[in-house]
């Protein structure tokens, strides 16, 4: 099925597929959407592999994933499912799993671009400039969006400090 | 720090995820299949043209066999005796996305997919960005034509089953008494401010335009552009003018009625400045 010309692409996917799937999941917040997002991004990359493979293809794929996630969210596919109009209700925090869900729900409830900033900055550990390049905005915008996102995450989790809650989870 | 804790939570949350072992195969197969289907479609259309058969509108708009509507079609081919024998027509799964999932260079961006934009507000240029998912496609315009810039106006077109989803969205707004009906020439529209995740904005004014049984369009203004337009009246006026000028280019009878340019003088103005700019 895979010819010699595809070897490099296959090796790339084998090496980075899982990492990219995780980015896709964090960008869109859903397992199945993440798989679809990744496949879409890889298909686009495959079609341009001759050009892309000479550079580092991973940023190229990541850019497609994040921007496609934002674009799809804007098409309401995700926003119809997620309670983005209002902060998520606070569940009863009985277990560590509950708490993690609270934070992940809060992350999903962020506007797509803010969510992308959080994923790129704090998951991918990209700098503000790199994040700005991927999202097609200024570094200042990245900074302000990150700040707003963190404020919303704190707010969504209620009066208690996020740091304290999370420390309890890992205690 | 919250940032560090977020990293930990995200790591925990995604630790279970693994790329499927057959991912590479699926990607390569899918990419090749798209190319093949596209080639098949071109061949089918060419063959239909040769024997003088009109492919039903439904076939060109449906996203797959399940969505096919319209009269049954048949390809006529000669049998061994030389007489014409109707053969069942196998509809290809159409439309397919473009191979690159975008439209490439659209020039001023006004003709994309199966629609044409007749009017855009002054000062806008094509953003050089587009997406083509087959039964849904989009492009946008902004001030500088920068691919990485923010959009001012974005138009989504949804066809076949995708159009049905758009109608359901409109109905949902109607049910909540959110938005208002609009008359766009001899067509109907629905004007509503959507919340589509625009950070820090007050929502995205959107005109849903009914372009016939198989097609819906959504014309959206970014919150940034809304601010620049200044008033709600200006926003609504510009949305309606764009909707009036948006027409189909594929001969779908329900969508090609060219609406007059709003205020009667925008065609010329638009022609002077590419993409309204």
What's the distance, Cα to Cα, between the start and end of chain B in Å? Answer: 47
SS3 B11: helix
Short-list B235, B264, B259, CA closest to B184: B259
Q: Would you state the pLDDT for residue B125?
A: 92
Nearest to A148 among B24, B156, B199 (CB): B199
Over residues B200-220, the pLDDT tens digits come to 556 789 999 999 989 999 999
Contact A28, A78 (CB under 8 A): yes
Any alpha helices (H) in B51-120, and if so which ranges?
Answer: 57-61
Nearest to A7 by CA among A44, A46, A40: A46
- Tell me the H-state helices in chain A: 7-28, 31-47, 49-52, 57-74, 96-108, 112-118, 128-135, 139-156, 162-170
A21·B10 Cβ contact <8 A: no
Domains located in chain B, CATH noted: 2-88 (no CATH), 111-276 (3.40.1000)
**Cβ pair A112:B197 closer than 8 A:** yes
**Distance between CA atoms of residues A97 and B215, nearest Å:** 44
pLDDT of residue B56: 39
Please indicate whether, in this complex, the C-beta atoms of A39 and B10 are within 8 angstroms of each other: no
Confidence at B26, pLDDT banded by 50, 70, 90: confident
pLDDT over threshold 60, residue B14 = yes
Contacts B148 to A, Cβ<8 Å: 136-137
Check CB contact of A83 with chain B, cutoff 8 Å: no
Chain segment A88-112, per-residue pLDDT in tens: 333 334 444 566 677 788 888 888 8
Gap from A93 CA to chain B (nearest CA, Å): 16
Q: Does A101 contact chain B (CB < 8 Å)?
A: no
**Pick from B238, B250, B240, B244: which is nearest to B276 by CA?**
B238
Q: What is the pLDDT of residue B49?
A: 47
Q: What pLDDT, on the 0 to 100 scale, is given for residue B162?
A: 81
Please state the rounded mean pLDDT for residues A63-91.
Answer: 58
Domains of chain A from N-terminus onward? 1-81 (no CATH), 84-171 (1.10.10.10)
Instruction: Name the average pLDDT for chain A.
Output: 75
Query: Does any CB of chain B come closer than 8 Å to the CB of residue A37?
Result: no
Task: Look at residue B53 and tell me whether its pLDDT is greater than 50.
Answer: no
**A167/B100 CB distance under 8 A:** no
Task: Encode pLDDT of B121-169 as tens digits.
Answer: 999 999 888 888 788 888 889 888 776 567 789 898 989 888 887 888 8
Can you tell me the ipTM of this complex? Answer: 0.74
Which of A23, A62, A22 has the alpha carbon at shortest distance from A44?
Answer: A62
> How is residue B134 annotated by DSSP?
S
Residue A106: predicted pLDDT? 85
Q: Coil, strand or helix: which one is A131?
A: helix
């Amino acid at each position: 099925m895979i010819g010699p010309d595809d070897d490099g692409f296959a090796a790339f996917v084998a090496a980075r597929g899982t990492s990219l799937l995780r980015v896709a999941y964090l960008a869109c917040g859903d397992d199945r959407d993440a798989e679809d997002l990744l496949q879409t991004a890889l298909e686009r990359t495959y079609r341009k592999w001759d050009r892309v493979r000479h550079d580092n293809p991973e940023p190229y794929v990541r850019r497609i994933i994040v921007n496609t996630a934002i674009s799809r969210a804007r098409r309401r596919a995700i926003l119809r499912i997620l309670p983005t109009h209002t902060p998520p209700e606070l569940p009863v925090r009985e277990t560590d799993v509950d708490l993690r869900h609270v934070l992940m729900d809060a992350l999903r409830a962020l506007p797509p671009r803010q969510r992308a900033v959080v994923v790129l900055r704090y998951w991918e550990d990209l700098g503000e400039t790199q994040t700005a390049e991927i999202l097609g905005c200024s570094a200042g915008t990245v900074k302000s969006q990150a700040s707003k996102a963190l404020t919303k995450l704190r707010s969504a989790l209620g009066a208690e400090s996020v740091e304290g809650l999370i420390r309890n989870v890992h205690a | 720090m919250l940032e560090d804790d977020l990293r930990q939570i995200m790591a925990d949350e995604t630790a279970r995820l693994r790329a499927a072992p057959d991912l590479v195969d699926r990607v390569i197969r899918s990419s090749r299949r798209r190319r093949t289907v596209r080639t098949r479609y071109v061949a089918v259309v060419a063959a239909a043209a040769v024997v003088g058969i009109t492919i039903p509108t439904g076939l060109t708009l449906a996203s797959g066999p399940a969505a096919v509507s319209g009269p049954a079609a048949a390809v006529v081919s000669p049998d061994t005796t030389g007489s014409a024998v109707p053969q069942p027509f196998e509809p290809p799964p159409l439309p397919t996305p473009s191979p690159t999932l975008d439209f490439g260079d659209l020039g001023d961006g006004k003709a994309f997919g199966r629609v044409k934009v007749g009017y855009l507000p002054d000062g806008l240029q094509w953003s050089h960005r587009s997406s083509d998912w087959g039964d849904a496609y989009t492009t946008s315009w902004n001030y500088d034509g920068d691919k990485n810039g923010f959009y001012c106006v974005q138009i989504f077109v949804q066809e076949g089953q995708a159009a049905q989803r758009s109608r359901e969205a409109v109905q949902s707004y109607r049910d909540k008494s959110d938005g208002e009906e609009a008359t766009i020439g001899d067509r109907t529209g629905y004007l509503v401010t959507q919340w589509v995740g625009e950070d820090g904005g007050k929502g995205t004014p959107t005109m849903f335009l009914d372009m016939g049984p198989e097609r819906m369009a959504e014309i959206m203004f970014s919150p940034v552009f809304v601010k620049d337009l200044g008033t709600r009246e200006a926003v609504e006026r510009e949305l309606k003018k764009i909707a009036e000028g948006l027409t189909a280019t594929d001969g779908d009878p329900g969508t090609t009625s060219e609406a007059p340019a709003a205020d009667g003088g925008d065609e010329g103005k638009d022609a002077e400045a590419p993409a309204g700019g």
